[in-house]
Structure 1
Amino acid sequence: MRFVMTLFLWVLTTILVAVAVPSAWVQKNIIDPQGYSSFAESAATDPQLQQAVAGELTTQVQSLAAQNGSQVEPRRIRAVANAYTAGSAFPRQFALANQVAHTWMFTNRLSRSEDGSWVIDLAPMLSDPSFAETLSGFGVEVPQTLTVPIASSAPDSLRPGILRPLAVWGPWVSVAVAVLAGVFALLTLAVARARGKALAALGISGLLVGAAGWAGLEAGRRYLNEALNHTSGDIRQMADAMVGHAIDSLHQWLNLTLAAGGGLVLFGIVVAVLGGLRRRSD
């Protein structure tokens, strides 16, 4: 009966850890506004994303110039855009540009374009001094906001504030699941007859969660690609880079889970061996 209870608690602990790791990552990097800004700022160091943003900025500058009846040199604008996205100011301003998209998804505030589409705001980047001098020379004035749609053919289910429940309940859920995982892990140790074996079993839980997470990400790439098909051009390249950065970040969390699981397995084995030696000496 004690073994059955231990097994039951171990299974629950494994399930809770499997939920706790991704939910904590999502809360920290996606749901939390400051966390998402930091995530976007980190992603902006990717050369693929920098080139994509430079291309989109060049396109928007040409569009603004056409609206104002001005003539611009595309090569010169692209050179300035490349230098800007490779500079130190770009990551922070890219994070600011993404705040509009985050607000659109996670709140019901009207931080969006007039037609309610899902957008990012490129005005903070074009207002950078490295651009301002060049644009003023061409007679191009940057508006206070310059929103660009992220998805050209977004599904009907994608609407403003669709993820607001996650913003409301996400912090509570991630904390609650992590606490429950810890509680059930302690209960597993308390009920188990052999503490060393129980520690090793909890380590195996970490190994299972880490391995399952890697497998799940690989299996989910197809669905991610289908979602990205709603974007195109430079925006698609930006989305690809952001998704790639997210996967790499989650891989790091899963690697830490694997490392923690492996450490617990080794510690459990040591505890079990020492316990066996002590019982023999008694």
Structure 2
Amino acid sequence: MRFLAALMLWLLTTVALASAVPAVWAQLHIVDEDGYAALAARAAGDPRLQDAMAGELTTQVLSLGADKGYSLNPQLVRTVADSYTRNSGFPGQFAQANRIAHRWMFTGAVPAGNSTDQWLIDVAPMLSDPSFDATLGTLDLAVPGTLTVPITVDSPDLRPGKLRPLATWGPWVSIATAVLTAVLALLTLAAARSRGRALTALGVSALLVGAAGWAGIEMGRRFVDAALNRTTGDIRTVAEVMVGTAEGSAHQWLNYSLIAGVALVLLGAVGAALGAGLRRTTGGPSSAPSPHSR
């Protein structure tokens, strides 16, 4: 009976862990605005994203110039944009620009002038950088307070606040699954006859979750590709790098799960071996009979 209880608790722990790992990761890096901004800042270090954003910023500057009646030198503007996206301040400003996209999807906040179902980022802070001012300062090219660039094409599937339920319930779900996993793991250890074997079993759970996570990400690539098909031009490259950075972060968490699993398996094996040795030295089944047993 005790074995069945321990087995059931182990299965429940494995299921809870499989829910906790992606839930906590998503809350910290996607649902949370600061976490998403940090992810964007990390992606901004990729040269492909820097080149793509330089191209998009060049397009926006040339468009601003055309609206004011100026014919700007595209090569000069692109040189300035390339220099800007490779300076140390770009990751922070790119992260700030992505906050508007996060708020649009997770809170429903719609930038002024946006009447379409498009996911947007605000490039105005980047165009207001001193490097652009130094180049365009002699021209009457005042950058507006908000200048949004579509990440996606118009789609009825995208609307402001579509992911608001995740923003509302995500923190609670991530905390609940993490606490539940910890409680079930402790109950599994308490119900098992051998703590060493229980630790080994929990290590196997972590290994299963890590491996299943890697497989799940690979299987989900076609859905990611379908989402990326809603983007175009330089912004598609930006989106691809952002997705790749998110995948890298998720892979890192799954690797932690695999490493923890290996550590628990080894710890459990050592514990089980020490426990067996201790039982033999304290009168286990293989110990010699007592002289008084006759």
Within-5 A mapping of 1:230-241? 230-241=230-241
Q: What percentage of aligned pairs have identical amino acids? A: 58
Structure 1 residues 264 and 113, CA gap change in structure 2 (3 angstroms): farther
Structure 1 residues 266 and 112, CA gap change in structure 2 (3 angstroms): farther
CA distance in 2, matches of 1:112, 1:171: 29
Partner of 2:261: 261
CA distance in 1, matches of 2:65, 2:80: 15
Letter in 2 for 1:17: L
Q: TM-score, normalised by structure 2?
A: 0.93
Contact 1:100 1:112 in 2 (8 A): no
Larger radius of gyration between Structure 1 and Structure 2? 2
Partner of 1:90: 90
Structure 1 residues 7 and 45, CA gap change in structure 2 (3 angstroms): same
Establish whether residue 140 from structure 1 lines up as the match of residue 141 from structure 2. yes
Establish whether residue 160 from structure 1 lines up as the match of residue 142 from structure 2. no
C-alpha distance after superposition, 1:104-123 (max 9, x if no partner): 01113333642143211000
Partner of 2:220: 220
Partner of 2:196: 196
Partner of 1:68: 68
CA distance in 2, matches of 1:113, 1:228: 25
Query: How far off its partner does 1:33 sit?
Result: 1.2
CA distance in 1, matches of 2:212, 2:113: 40
- RMSD between aligned residues: 1.1
Contact 1:203 1:264 in 2 (8 A): yes
C-alpha distance after superposition, 1:106-164 (max 9, x if no partner): 1133336421432110000000001112122344221111111111143x121100111
Partner of 2:279: 279
* Unpaired runs of at least 5, structure 2: 283-294
Secondary structure of 1:20's match?
A: helix
Partner of 1:207: 207
CA distance in 1, matches of 2:56, 2:80: 13
C-alpha distance after superposition, 1:63-95 (max 9, x if no partner): 111111101111111111011000011001001
Secondary structure of 2:110's match?
A: coil
CA distance in 2, matches of 1:140, 1:253: 45
Partner of 2:120: 119
Query: How far off its partner does 1:5 sit?
Result: 1.3
Query: How far off its partner does 1:40 sit?
Result: 1.0
Contact 1:112 1:118 in 2 (8 A): no
Deviating more after overlay: 106-115 vs 33-42:
106-115
CA distance in 1, matches of 2:47, 2:110: 32
Letter in 1 for 2:66: A
Letter in 2 for 1:37: A
Letter in 2 for 1:92: G
Partner of 2:292: none
Partner of 1:81: 81
* Unpaired runs of at least 5, structure 1: none
Q: TM-score, normalised by structure 1?
A: 0.97
CA distance in 1, matches of 2:265, 2:41: 37
CA distance in 2, matches of 1:108, 1:218: 31
Letter in 1 for 2:223: Y
Secondary structure of 2:15's match?
A: helix
Partner of 2:291: none
Secondary structure of 1:137's match?
A: coil
C-alpha distance after superposition, 1:40-71 (max 9, x if no partner): 11111111111110010011111111111101
Letter in 1 for 2:141: V
Letter in 2 for 1:146: L
